Chains A and B, each alone.
Chain A
């Protein structure tokens, strides 16, 4: 179960030469209880990698196994159903909205996967509730709401399919700080309450620090780190990963340098505040 990559490479057909977007990538992801951040510089292959997870792309070398289904598939094998099991939310997902009403749009996914009209409506309502879209908006046009609301409707559209694994490509890009917080809270709740595995591409190291348990680092198409976030930030070769440090750690390192405060990693605001209060009393 879950997702396995076995020595996967994907090559784009270039003008005269093929070039590998990702090369020789192997890892295992469990179907439940994982919160993984995928990070790496722009162009390192993150989007390409993630599009293999719901069979949008098929490996040119190696194998991808999604819920025991081996890819690349044999000719005429049906793989569309995998996109219901692994829900992929693209960057700026609000661009996918098209239906007459918000509820209809959220129902689109389930209906494509053979839910009846009634079932799809139930699923859509549940998903709308999860993302905080109020009943009063159900019959509104998806184009007459704010950008932040549109994004939540788009996410609901994927949640309504009730996937087992959620893959998110930079879900908070372009959102203001409040919007970011609200959206991440939704994913955090899904992870904690429903135990679904969440895989998230992001550039925001603070989000990685706060939410992720495991981090995968891509560099020029290869996987250079795959492990707990704590070990990533302590890694001796951290410089080579071309990543930023999360702000709480930056502050702690700065304080260690300036006033000799003992360095102890903390990854989110409340715990950092608490630590500073405890350690530095007059």
Chain B
């Protein structure tokens, strides 16, 4: 029997866990909008709200019982992008006062050092637990050796850091981090079935413009239901074909094409048969596309849900007004 559950839900009993999923989803959307409305600037009117959101997210994380480390790990996929953006902003924005100037040298020695660093990083990274910090450290060292080793120089260049560049770099960094933390908190504290329900509910207004929300909701729910089953079946087919000699490791490229076909076709066949059987089963149980149905899921809005909505709307409102003024 499988122990896979789809999604990243981490069980817990914090108030954030217990908050109505529709409220959580709405809050996420509102806060995301708010975060992106705040203009990139070094004015206090931009820094304060962004910083406040950041601190707010940290407080939420601690109150939800989700370990901060897990949330930070959500940054892993984009750490390269983040670092790149940070350095672009840091070195190439000129405005305000010059803080410091660096002379970097691309010399034979520094290039060698960089190559050694990269090799060392790739070999050693599997032994390090705090990957993100390690990556940042190596990046810092890459610059550092260019500063330190001008021997046998090939090319020198100068990078200036202005205070505005520093502020902007920091600002964008915090903004992206905020987005990741917000989204992670939602997926960590909400069960997939609840998220499904939240998405359905929030799409409901689209009914007014004749979008078949109920049908979309049913499709979404069926997809969720079948993902673990399909994964299990795909694994079985992979093993069956492996038993007939399919081996992704030990084969040439042209063989790979037919190997993939040997996996895809059975999965398609199973899925089409399933669609037919499922359609029959649903029809016999009285399902009519587009007909009115009651729902077993019932979520009651409580006091904390209403308060949360109010707080979120106030924050959003404040941000919009500061923007408009």
Contact = CB atoms under 8 A, between A and B. Distances in A.
A157 B244 contact: yes
Contact of B240 (A14, A15, A43, A96): A96
B242 interface: yes
Given A15-B3, A97-B266, A80 B247 contact: yes
Contacts of A97: 266, 269
A87 B240 CA distance: 10
B116 to A, nearest CB: 25
Residue of A54, A112, A157 with highest tally of chain B CB at under 10 A: A112
A98 interface: yes
Contact of A88 (B233, B243, B247, B266): B243
Interface in B55-93: none
B296 interface: no
A112 B246 contact: yes
A56 B241 CA distance: 11
Contact of A90 (B243, B245, B269): B243
B240 A93 contact: yes
Contacts of B236: 90, 95
Query: Helix, strand, loop or mixed for chain B's interface?
Result: helix
A157 B262 CA distance: 13
B237 interface: yes
Interface in A30-75: 43, 51, 54, 56
Contacts of B233: 95
A224 B250 CA distance: 37
Interface residues of A, number: 28
Nearest to B264: A98
Contacts of A88: 243
Contacts of B246: 112
Contact of B237 (A87, A96, A109, A158): A96
A151 B129 CA distance: 49
Contacts of B250: 78, 80
A188 B6 CA distance: 44
A193 to B, nearest CB: 23
Nearest to A57: B239
Contact of A96 (B1, B244, B247, B249): B244
15 contacts: A54-B243, A83-B243, A84-B245, A90-B239, A90-B243, A95-B266, A96-B241, A96-B266, A97-B269, A98-B265, A98-B266, A98-B269, A109-B244, A112-B246, A158-B243
Interface of A: 14-15, 43, 51, 54, 56, 78, 80, 83-84, 87-90, 93, 95-98, 108-109, 111-113, 143, 157-158, 161
Given A56-B239, A56-B242, A98-B265, 6 more contacts: A14-B3, A78-B250, A90-B236, A90-B239, A95-B233, A96-B262
